[in-house]
């Protein structure tokens, strides 16, 4: 099992049942609908897409909060989320750190920094107070909150947004996880500290050999953090690529729409594509037949895109796009 991926997502589907007035079956919300990818130990990947594309449902399934409808999430090649009992699930959640989007909302206002960082260790059964304090000093030093003694008695409202996010990261790292899931970790922060926080996460990833899944809607930040990008639309991954390849030579029309909307000046290749008409993602209850992006796509091939679901086509080294343009 030593060569197995740290995390393997295998044809994952997460559907939520809708009930009419609380009783009759009214269909399903297909939040995640056939997603597959592997994450290696020490690798950082970004899952990118607009609101409503299924990023959060995918993240919650990886964290063990949602159960797969079909497919599975496999940890270290042998632990399947769908088959975990309560004890194994508790162990698994210790292996996965979680960095939330809103640091102020993620931190309990009635606890000081020391108590916030002690809580997960107490829940995990680490009873030695000396060990807990040593871990707290180590992790706060790693997230550059020094001198540590000055921050320990402070409550969340007494520190800045950037410092709050550092505490959230410290809490995610306190149990020494093997996998880190970061959900839009800089979207609530000032522009002046975003790159700093991303570089901090990158440093932790490299020093601890962490596998990292970075959830975001902003392509302008992924270059600071990830090796590969998975572009997600309406519950499906439509393009997979190394970061530089995608930013320089994106293939899927939806990816071009994301690049055109970013503030990143290096994403100019998006301007060479036709403008994508504005619109909302398709209904996840009854998505359209064929490619889910075809109602908004300026390159639609009638009789193909609106009828058949495209498979993943190889469009370059380690680069795939689920688009009939590359048939």
Query: How does DSSP assign 73-96, residue by residue?
Result: EEETTTEEGGG--HHHHHHHHHSE
- Cα separation, 260 vs 266, in Å, equals 11
Task: Output the pLDDT for position 18.
Answer: 84
DSSP helix/strand/coil, 38: strand
DSSP helix/strand/coil, 146: coil
Task: Output the pLDDT for position 219.
Answer: 83
Residues 6+ apart with CB under 8 A from 106: 100, 168
- Cα separation, 159 vs 162, in Å, equals 8
Task: Output the pLDDT for position 1.
Answer: 45
Task: Output the pLDDT for position 271.
Answer: 47
* Residue 227 burial by Cβ neighbours in a 10 Å radius (0-12, 13-18, 19+): middle
Q: Please name every residue paired with 29 in a beta bridge, in sequence order, or none if there are none.
A: 16
Task: Output the pLDDT for position 218.
Answer: 82
Tokens linked to 326: 């590359």
Task: Output the pLDDT for position 277.
Answer: 63
Residues 6+ apart with CB under 8 A from 236: 33, 34, 35, 54, 292, 322
Q: Percentage helix, strand, coil, to 5, in the chain?
A: 35, 25, 40
What are the Cα distances from residue 181, in Å, to 56, 60, 159? 11, 10, 24
pLDDT tens for the chain, 327 residues long, are: 458 899 999 999 999 888 877 677 777 888 999 999 999 999 999 999 988 899 999 999 999 999 999 999 999 999 999 999 999 999 999 999 999 989 989 999 999 999 999 999 999 999 999 999 999 999 999 999 999 999 999 999 999 999 999 999 999 999 999 999 999 998 888 888 888 898 899 999 999 999 999 999 888 788 777 899 999 999 999 999 999 899 888 999 999 888 887 766 555 454 445 566 666 667 667 777 889 898 888 899 999 999 999 999 999 999 999 999 998
Task: Output the pLDDT for position 41.
Answer: 94
Task: Output the pLDDT for position 284.
Answer: 66
Topology (CATH level 3) of domain 7-42+51-95+221-326: Rossmann fold (3.40.50)
Task: Output the pLDDT for position 270.
Answer: 45
């Amino acid at each position: 099992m030593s060569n197995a991926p740290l995390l393997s997502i295998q044809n994952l589907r997460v559907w939520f049942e809708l009930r009419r007035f609380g009783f009759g079956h009214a269909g399903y919300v297909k939040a995640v609908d056939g997603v597959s990818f592997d994450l290696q130990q020490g690798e950082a990947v970004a899952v990118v897409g607009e609101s409503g594309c299924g990023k959060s449902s995918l993240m919650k399934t990886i964290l063990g909060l949602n159960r797969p409808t079909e497919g599975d999430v496999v940890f270290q090649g042998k632990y399947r989320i769908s088959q975990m009992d309560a004890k194994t699930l508790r162990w698994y959640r210790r292996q996965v750190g979680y960095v939330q989007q809103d640091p102020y909302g993620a931190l309990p206002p009635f606890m000081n920094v020391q108590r916030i960082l002690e809580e997960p260790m107490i829940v995990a059964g680490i009873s030695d107070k000396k060990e807990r304090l040593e871990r707290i000093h180590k992790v706060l030093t790693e997230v550059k909150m020094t001198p540590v003694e000055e921050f320990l008695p402070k409550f969340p409202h007494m520190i800045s947004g950037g410092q709050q996010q550092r505490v959230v990261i410290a809490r995610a790292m306190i149990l020494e996880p093997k996998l880190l899931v970061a959900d839009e970790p800089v979207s609530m922060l000032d522009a002046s500290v975003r790159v700093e926080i991303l570089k901090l996460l990158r440093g932790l990833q490299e020093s601890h050999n962490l596998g990292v899944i970075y959830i975001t809607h902003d392509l302008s930040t992924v270059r600071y953090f990830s090796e590969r990008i998975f572009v997600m639309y309406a519950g499906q991954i439509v393009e997979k690529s190394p970061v530089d390849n995608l930013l320089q030579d994106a293939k899927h029309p939806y990816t071009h729409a994301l690049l055109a909307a970013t503030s990143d000046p290096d994403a100019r290749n998006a301007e060479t594509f036709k403008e994508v008409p504005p619109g909302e993602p398709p209904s996840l209850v009854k998505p359209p037949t064929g490619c889910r992006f075809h109602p908004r796509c300026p390159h639609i091939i009638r009789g193909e895109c609106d009828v058949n679901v495209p498979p993943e086509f190889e469009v370059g080294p380690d680069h795939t796009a689920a688009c009939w343009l590359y048939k």
